[in-house]
Structure 1
Amino acid sequence: MPVPAILASMINSIVGSAVNTAMENAVYAPPAPPELGVAGARAFPDGTRKGEMAPPVGMMEVVIDGKALPRAPGLLIRNQQNLIVMPGTIQEKVPVRYQLDPSGAVFRVWVLTRTEVAAP
């Protein structure tokens, strides 16, 4: 015997509401950001250098190891989880690896984890 359309609609609404409520009330622990170790270490391109970067001030320069270096137009800064971050999120001196473009401007910056700082 076929179910009337109105009854099917009511059942669908009730089941959908129950599922949505269950999903909203579920508690998920946020995953802890992994400390990149030997197994998950990032591979840096050849020619990168280690240094300590001061918080970026202005739009034209980046200060690494006390030296003001020009910023490349496509500068990318990656945090310890390898996510691209805005320069303003760097609020203190941080250990970094950086790469220069052919003109000598800072092109890529990776903020290092403790494991990466200890590596040669």
Structure 2
Amino acid sequence: MGASMVFHQEARAERGFPLKTERAEMKFVELPDVLLNGKPERLAHAVRVRDERNAIVMPGTVNGRSAVVNYLRDARGQVREVWILSPQEAAIPLKPVPTTLRPAPSADATASYAN
């Protein structure tokens, strides 16, 4: 294998996660049942699980495993996307979801409509 084909763990690109991503300790009990921070939850029927290398894995292959994960929920509240984190990723706090508030109209803008 040529030198250009060798990838080092440190050189791997940081994974990006969607804005509404949450983090928890997940125990894969018996699919579709999991524990999120000790609370029972269900995985969505079409859940997608990615391992520490970002490879998609069959959910059954992680039965019995516990890991720190990032996850997303679907519209019904079920976990639909799971990223198993490496220890390095788990050590980095999730960025808070920005709130998008519209600025209040200025007094000048409101006064111009009063005429």
Q: Normalised by the size of structure 2, how large is the TM-score?
A: 0.66
Poorly superposed stretches of 4+, deviation over 6 Å: none
Paired position in structure 2 for 1:56: 29
Paired position in structure 2 for 1:100: 73
Closer/same/farther in 2, CA of residues 41 and 63 from structure 1, 3 Å limit: same
| Aligned equivalents of 2:10, 2:24: Cα separation in 1 | 19
| Aligned equivalents of 1:77, 1:36: Cα separation in 2 | 23
What RMSD, in angstroms, separates the aligned Cα atoms of the two structures?
2.5
Structure 2: state its 5+ residue gaps.
94-115
Deviations 1:31-53 (CA, angstroms, capped at 9, x unpaired): 8875366x611000011111111
Closer/same/farther in 2, CA of residues 62 and 33 from structure 1, 3 Å limit: farther
Paired position in structure 2 for 1:82: 54
Structure 1: state its 5+ residue gaps.
1-27
Q: Normalised by the size of structure 1, how large is the TM-score?
A: 0.64
More helix by share: 1
Closer/same/farther in 2, CA of residues 32 and 88 from structure 1, 3 Å limit: farther
| Aligned equivalents of 1:81, 1:95: Cα separation in 2 | 14
More strand by share: 2
Paired amino acid for 2:30: V
Closer/same/farther in 2, CA of residues 81 and 104 from structure 1, 3 Å limit: same
Among all aligned residue pairs of Structure 1 and Structure 2, give the percentage whose two residues are the same amino acid.
33
Paired position in structure 2 for 1:67: 39
